Amino acid sequence: MIAHGHSRVTHDLDLVIAMDDINISRAIECLTNLGFSPRLPVAAADFCDATIRKRWIEEKNLQVFSMINESMGGLVIDLFAEEPFDFRSEYSKAALIALPGIEAHLPFVGKETLITMKRLANRSIDRDDIKHLTATE
């Protein structure tokens, strides 16, 4: 949200990753090494298992797999359980944005894709976010 001009603080970071086995395993390993652990009472490695992940999606309506790091003030990172868009296509046109305190430019989903994702989620906070995102156009 902040990357596209809306200053609502969300208290979490949503990550969309390419959902191939190697990439998922690397993401979980990286987050675990940084001190993140699942918010659910499951093993982090379970998210890497496509059969388990599919069951969670179908039976529990899992949309994101949340991992928390208490030593970072309770920072939550939500990994999408499925790609909400074609990852490779969106990554190739991602907005590269510098954030305060970070030297590198980080890839963020484009504004139009973010708005589409907000429309699909359709929560009241998402509808409010859409108003703010479209007001800055």
DSSP 8-class letter at 4: G
pTM of the model: 0.78
Q: Does residue 38 or residue 95 have the better pLDDT? A: 38
State how far the Cα of 129 lies from the Cα of 127, in Å rounded to an integer. Answer: 5
The pLDDT value recorded for residue 11 is 67
Question: In this predicted model, what pLDDT tens digit does every residue of 65-123 receive, in sequence order?
Answer: 999 999 988 989 999 999 888 888 888 888 887 766 667 788 888 888 888 888 877 78
The pLDDT value recorded for residue 135 is 84
The pLDDT value recorded for residue 137 is 57
Alpha-carbon dihedral angle through residues 85, 66, 49, 42, given to the nearest 10 degrees = -160
Q: Does residue 129 or residue 46 have the better pLDDT? A: 46
**Domain residue ranges of the chain, discontinuous segments joined by +:** 17-82, 86-137
Contacts of 57 (CB under 8 A, 6+ apart): 63, 81, 82
CA angle 7, 82, 21 (to 5 degrees): 120
Q: Does residue 111 or residue 5 have the better pLDDT? A: 111
Whether 1 has a pLDDT exceeding 50, the answer reads: no
Strand order in the sheet with 37-38: 12-15, 75-80, 64-69, 37-38
Q: Taking the CB of residue 129, how many other CB atoms lie within 10 A of it?
A: 21
